[in-house]
Amino acid sequence: MPIYQKIKEALEASIADGVYPIGERLPPEITLAKQFKVSRETIRSAIKLLEQESKVFVRHGVGTFVVNPLPSLPNSLENLMSVTSMLMHAGLEDGERREKLHKEVPTDEWKELLQLKPNEDVIVHERIRTANNEPVVFSKNVLSSKLVGEHILNKKKIGSLFQYLKEVHQIEIDKASTEIIVPLHTDPNCQKLLIHPATTVLLLKQIHYDLHNKPVLFSLDYFRNDIFKFFISRIRS
């Protein structure tokens, strides 16, 4: 682990221990550099990390100040994870009921979003995830059939698509552009989850990209909002 990482954690620990109380100023960078016996730039790298995590607040010409710790948000939405991972994080066993898995001619929307070539077909995969035999998520996934081949059509159970793409095709999903939607109750996909009167459903419409920002996977994920909670940290730009 690089030195600036260690210093960052040391400073974090000092803050937690009350050596530098909330609202107080940290020692100036030069002083810290002498204390840790490193150059000033190394200290600055450590402080930059703390600043990004909003643990300190830096004011040019004044100093670096310890701020109030923010409450930790569980499962923040800006952290991309597969539905399978979300189920595990929520402590739910992952039952799976397949509804559809076949090749299709893509819609115009899919063509555009997945940057498909003319005459390129797609694989469409729909399934319901269950916990205690109750449906909790409905997912529709769309992939280029050229990308994943048609071998996938013979698979009995796929599990995490993210993991499948990584292990079988060395495609690493890294980012997603997501629209957050409240579906109508008349949406047939939504209705699959509306079992209890106190249930509401949130829809994530997502395009997933690999490390090179190539669009790989289009998905519609319907989540029961009485089971899953969604958080996000927002910052003024």
Partner DNA sequence: CAGTGGTCTAGACCACCGC
Partner DNA sequence: CGGTGGTCTAGACCACTGC
Select from DNA, its own copies, none the partner in contact with residue 63, using the beta carbon and a kind-dependent cut-off of 5 to 8 Å: DNA
CA distances for 53 relative to 32, 72, 134, 182, angstroms: 20, 11, 38, 30
| Residues 8-37 close enough to bind DNA by CB under 7 A | 26, 28-30, 37
| 56 burial via Cβ count (<10 Å: 0-12, 13-18, 19+) | buried
Q: Could you give the string, one character per residue 39-58, with x where binding to its own copies holds by CB under 8 A and - elsewhere?
A: ---------------x--x-
Select from DNA, its own copies, none the partner in contact with residue 14, using the beta carbon and a kind-dependent cut-off of 5 to 8 Å: none
> Is 210 near DNA (CB under 7 A)?
no
Choose which of 78, 93, 104, 150 interacts with its own copies (CB under 8 A).
78
> Is 63 near DNA (CB under 7 A)?
yes
| Tokens describing residue 219 | 């998905």
| Residues 158-197 close enough to bind its own copies by CB under 8 A | 173-184
Phi, psi of 50 (to 5 degrees): -60, -35
**Dist CA 64 CA 223 (whole Å):** 42
**Dist CA 87 CA 129 (whole Å):** 9
Say if strands 122-131 and 95-104 run parallel, antiparallel, or are unpaired. antiparallel
* Interacting residue ranges for its own copies, rule: CB under 8 A: 23, 54, 57, 65, 67-71, 73, 77-81, 173-184, 198, 200-202, 206, 209, 211-215, 225, 229-237
* Interacting residue ranges for DNA, rule: CB under 7 A: 2-4, 26, 28-30, 37-42, 44-45, 58-64
